[in-house]
Structure 1
Amino acid sequence: MSVFMRGIAYICFFVTIEVIYTAIKALVKKHDFRLIGNTQIWVMPLYAFGGLFGLEPIYRALSQDSILLRFAVYGAGILVVEFAAGFIFTKIVGRCPWEYTGKYNIKGLIYPPYFPLWGGVGLIFEQVYKFTTTF
């Protein structure tokens, strides 16, 4: 699969994950049984480039290492990129497309308790990468 098509696949993957997550979060926190999830168009380029130039190289470099190491690197890496991207958005656009409000948020740009979630997303991404590179 071409780089362009892998980027599109990564957008589809991450948007789907985000929409499902936000729908489940609304169900649990607000008892909203409509299961309406959402995302922002702003993040779509981040999903493509993050997959192509962040997660793919990490997987290629660490694919033979332990799952725990890969989990930790994905979790930390996604938090770092999320903070940097949020900071840049804030400087250029005036605000960040996402805003964390939990007790442990850092400047509303990242939420460190999501580290395990991001590590898990990275491990799932590995399967998407393998699928997209079999064509």
Structure 2
Amino acid sequence: MGILTAILDALLQFIRRNPLTCLILVILALTAPALLKGIALFILYFLLGMLVLGVVLTLLFRWRIRKLREGMEEQFGRNGEEAFGRRAGERSQRTGTVRIRRTSDAPEKRVASDVGDYVEFEETHDER
């Protein structure tokens, strides 16, 4: 019973906010019911189409996420094993120890030494 009164209240609020639209709908219902039926069917098909489109897009999104997850599992190993090049059960040697490894054979300096000028400067402090 509460849902019926909520629907009626919402309908009355719509009529109060849009009296001209409701008047046009009543005139259409009385004078051209076939036209009103066509408009109602169009709105119904439009809403159903949007619903189907939403379901299809949701399924496509879930499928794509599943494929990405499977790709990551293949790349990093299943269940965290071999994640980032080490086994899940392994620990580093000591906590707080930092190791820096060279990962590529890139040269130290990428710009030739004769490029640019050296500008000597001195830091000054303004005391105001």
TM-score (norm 1): 0.23
The structure showing larger relative contact order (alpha-carbon pairs under 8 Å, at least 6 residues apart) is: 1
TM-score by length of 2: 0.24
Q: Which of these two proteins has the greater Rg computed from alpha carbons? A: 2
